[in-house]
Amino acid sequence: MFIPHNGTLRVVIVPPIEDAEGIFGGIDTDPQREKEDREL
């Protein structure tokens, strides 16, 4: 991910949401959820 900051461009590595499983109890990591939300 590229983030503009004070006239520069910062590169930040964003891990996949599946890597967060276990950190946030009960989080749904099924990517279909996002697709369904867009279709509403």
The pLDDT value given to residue 37? 66
pLDDT of residue 31: 64
3 beta partners:
10
Measured distance CA(28)–CA(31) in Å, rounded: 8
For residue 39, give the 3-state DSSP assignment: helix
3-state SS, residue 13: coil
pLDDT in tens, 1-40: 899 999 999 999 888 877 766 666 666 666 665 666 666 5
Instruction: Give me the residue spans of the domains in the chain.
Output: 2-39
